[in-house]
Structure 1
Amino acid sequence: MKPETNTLRIEFRQLLALMALGLFGCSAPKKVTFPESVDTNDKIISYQMKKTYEIEKMDVWVSNEFDAARVNGLEQINDSTIALSIEPENLPINKSPYFAFRTWAKESKTVYFRFTYPKGFKHRYNPKINKDGAWQIVDSVNLIKEDSITTLKIAVGQEPLLVAAQEINSTAHVRNWYQDQIVGTNNFVRLKSAGNSGLGRNLPVLDIYNGDAKGKDIIVLLTRQHPPEVTGYFAFQSFLKTIVAKTDLSTAFLNKYRVLAFPILNPDGVDLGHWRHNSHGVDTNRDWSLYKQPEVRNVVSFITKTAKKDRGRIVLGLDFHSTYEDVFYTNKKRKGTTLPNFVEDWFALLEQKIPGYKVNEAAGNSTKPVSKGWFLYGKNATGITYEIGDETPKDRIQEIGTNSANAMMELLLKASEK
């Protein structure tokens, strides 16, 4: 065989492999047009230096050498005060400074940690402390606020304390949770991958249904686009646990419907301790139009290909986030969509299930390329951003998450019977 002929055959096989992997434009997900565009091209980020800082004159140590940590530097102010420098991954960025560090001392002592942020930013999150595996919110008397400066007063000893803006749920924590609590012995939960993040981390997806997938309407659940927004993730956990609870309601629901649940859409940002963006310096929840970021591109491709393969119709998308208060962001356009009456009926039923609870709804069609707009403009489906307050208590989050899941299943079952 001539060498050039062999080369041609190798190149032809490589061409076939590329086609099989869908690396040509014909397999790319269809772009969705929004009224207002956002630049989601890659941006430069600043990596924090990972190290354990020793404050020799105090015999105190501070470390950011773990996933989801955030401390960019420190300075001793006096014999009891340490100024922590907390900086974002890049600018511009929203005003939600995130921090996380471990600290310990040679001997027990009181230490004051002063949070310092770049100009234009101020303290947002009430610090949480983890000792012996349990998280506790710092008592307000130990959080000193003077003008624009916030200082945390804590007792530091030989046993390391974990201090963070929000409870840490790294990719490892998330993986352990869904493997133990959701996949476990539930043979109707199929653990799959939508691909990888910019730094090669897995984008897991839980494909959930009973029986045959063919023709089942699809509900999509998303969370952790923004790393610090763990209260929304907690609601996602309660919501999903209710769907797989094997109750009569959940069993009947999964006989009729299919759920695609994505428990961590921005694993790089989470493990890098970012305030908001992914490893390419971009807010993934502004990329649901052109899909320039691998996380959104891979998730959208997975959803679209799955629906097409099994002839499933995407009817509902819920994206779990956190903000200053509990709020549901909805689209005003509902007539002619897959579930035109779902929003009103869902909120009314949720208020019935929780005595005294009043849904806080903020309605407005998405102008920027966010996920709830993608469901509306791209799939003619109901899209909702499900926001939980930064400081909403865990038992309240669980109550809302559980009851909203049950209300959704009841309504969609009724809809399937018509």
Structure 2
Amino acid sequence: MKLVFFYAVLCFLFLGCYSVEKVTFKTPVDTSNRKIIKQIKKIYRLKEAEVFASNTFDGARLNGFEQVNDSTAQVIISPENTPINNSAYYAFKTWSSTSKSFYFTFKYPTGFKNRYIPKLKINNQWSIIDSTNVFIKDSIVTIKLQLTKTPITVAAQEVQSSKDVEHWYTKLIEGKENRVHLKNYGKSPLGKKLTVLNIYKNSSKGKDIIVLLTRQHPPEVTGYYAFQYFLETILGDSDLAKEFLNRYHVLAFPLLNPDGVDLGNWRHNSNGVDTNRDWFEYHQPEIEKTVKYIKKTLKKNHSRIVLGLDFHSTWHDVFYTNKSRTETTLPNFTEDWFAGLEANIPNYKVNEAAGNSDKPVSKGWFLYGFNAVGITYEIGDKTPENEIQLIGETSAEQMMKILLKEKK
């Protein structure tokens, strides 16, 4: 009996083997594992045309490549499983043995259609395809490319793999070790690192916490870019940022679904599940371990969460908010924040969609689990990067100003 008790204590202290309290939602979602269909990683060759296509890189999505005629190939794209949102993601490299113009027609399963305008990576630079090289007939999309022996990457959104994300945050925190503490708090089902940037100055004890999340859905890169600019502003050298981190503690999670990102999934993780429907029973390891880490941090520092922002992408810019605010830790934050954005971004009007979360998404978890403000921060698929930067930086500045007023 004593030995069993001893091992139980060790498990609790060192391995974090304890259950995490669940959060109740009106409309639960089954987030148990579902089978996915993995891509066959290969280099496709159209023998007659001597045109090639490859999905042999992280973040690729190409399920088939077939020649239609002497100048056209059919690009076959399928999701990891169904049912699934119409977020038809694709990413592949293509080249030819000789320089030539060539056409690529996208084929999706019945019921799905093209969502994203193709992005091209040529000579290590990303750009949006020229509209004169895009041809749409009914729901069929064809693009024209000028091929050479040097591969072109064609993708629904700019590819940002787990390695790209790690490269970004590693560079970001260089020289900032006095306020950024990098922690690997677990692994995904495929063994990829789950990482948090634990941000504060001096001590974290008793400081109110802001949680930042992103990349629950793999293709949602524009939201991830807003997260980058938001976090870079918080970690800047301005007096505002320095004062803010003296008073607050930020937990920033730069990649919640590394498996789905590297597999080139449309929406789900490697277990075939939408992680942003798992914020109640925590069936998926990515969410379970993230929740455990957050709750351990709260308990250790005797802190509370006051704000949670989850960065996503959709067809247009929108902030999904909770209607319940008066009893939260920051009852006036949402209105003040949006007013600050409109006052400091020229010709900008906040697009808000308010509604308490029925399904178990992160913004509802912040509200129901912690009585904190929870917001899903969505950036449009087509929002230009200069606008993403302005929105990301301004929203961080306004958040810091509002929260600092709370402390006075």
1:137 matches 2:128: yes
SS at match of 1:77: strand
Tell me the distance in 1 between the aligned counterparts of 2:73 and 2:344.
48
1:37 to 28, 35, 53: 28
Tell me the distance in 2 between the aligned counterparts of 1:195 and 1:30.
19
Tell me the distance in 2 between the aligned counterparts of 1:184 and 1:114.
47
Identify the range of structure 1 (177-186 vs 253-262) with the bigger mean alpha-carbon deviation.
177-186
Identify the range of structure 1 (12-21 vs 38-47) with the bigger mean alpha-carbon deviation.
12-21
1:47 to 2, 26, 38: 38
1:288 matches 2:263: no
Residue matched to 2:213: 222
Per-residue displacement from partner, 1:215-266 (whole Å, max 9, x unpaired)?
0000000000000000000000000000000210000000000000000000
Residue matched to 1:376: 367
The alignment's TM-score, normalised by the length of structure 2, stands at 0.98
Residue matched to 2:64: 73
* CA positional deviation for 1:12: 7.6
- What does 1:200-349 correspond to in 2, within 5 Å? 200-349=191-340
Cα–Cα, structure 1 residues 28 and 12, in superposed 2: closer, same or farther, change >3 Å? Answer: closer
Tell me the distance in 1 between the aligned counterparts of 2:291 and 2:161.
23
2:165 to 174, 191, 198: 174
Residue matched to 1:147: 138
**Which amino acid in structure 1 is aligned with residue 138 of structure 2?**
D
**Which amino acid in structure 2 is aligned with residue 329 of structure 1?**
Y
1:18 matches 2:14: no
Residue matched to 1:199: 190
SS at match of 1:253: helix
SS at match of 1:233: helix
Q: CA RMSD in A?
A: 1.4
**Which amino acid in structure 1 is aligned with residue 11 of structure 2?**
L
Tell me the distance in 1 between the aligned counterparts of 2:3 and 2:25.
43
Tell me the distance in 2 between the aligned counterparts of 1:330 and 1:42.
29
- What does 1:115-134 correspond to in 2, within 5 Å? 115-134=106-125
Identify the range of structure 1 (12-21 vs 166-175) with the bigger mean alpha-carbon deviation.
12-21
* CA positional deviation for 1:313: 1.0
Q: Which runs of 5+ in 2 are unaligned?
A: none
Tell me the distance in 1 between the aligned counterparts of 2:329 and 2:8.
40
Tell me the distance in 2 between the aligned counterparts of 1:246 and 1:28.
40
SS at match of 2:101: strand
Cα–Cα, structure 1 residues 93 and 184, in superposed 2: closer, same or farther, change >3 Å? Answer: farther
Tell me the distance in 2 between the aligned counterparts of 1:356 and 1:64.
41
1:59 to 50, 68, 72: 50
Tell me the distance in 1 between the aligned counterparts of 2:16 and 2:239.
43
SS at match of 1:269: helix
The number of aligned residues is 408
**Which amino acid in structure 2 is aligned with residue 240 of structure 1?**
L
Tell me the distance in 2 between the aligned counterparts of 1:182 and 1:334.
34
CA contact (8 A) 1:183 1:190 kept: no
Tell me the distance in 1 between the aligned counterparts of 2:33 and 2:111.
24
Per-residue displacement from partner, 1:12-56 (whole Å, max 9, x unpaired)?
8755543444464xx222100000010000000000000001111
* CA positional deviation for 1:9: 9.7
1:353 matches 2:339: no
Tell me the distance in 1 between the aligned counterparts of 2:11 and 2:205.
28
* CA positional deviation for 1:114: 0.7
Tell me the distance in 1 between the aligned counterparts of 2:2 and 2:239.
57
Instruction: Give the % identical residues.
Output: 58
CA contact (8 A) 1:69 1:101 kept: yes
1:102 to 86, 90, 93: 93
CA contact (8 A) 1:183 1:189 kept: no
* CA positional deviation for 1:140: 1.2
The alignment's TM-score, normalised by the length of structure 1, stands at 0.95
**Which amino acid in structure 2 is aligned with residue 161 of structure 1?**
I
Tell me the distance in 2 between the aligned counterparts of 1:16 and 1:242.
42
**Which amino acid in structure 2 is aligned with residue 18 of structure 1?**
C
1:397 matches 2:396: no
**Which amino acid in structure 1 is aligned with residue 383 of structure 2?**
T
Per-residue displacement from partner, 1:89-142 (whole Å, max 9, x unpaired)?
000000010000011111111111110000000000000000111100001111
**Which amino acid in structure 2 is aligned with residue 231 of structure 1?**
T
CA contact (8 A) 1:183 1:191 kept: no
SS at match of 1:115: strand
Tell me the distance in 2 between the aligned counterparts of 1:69 and 1:206.
27
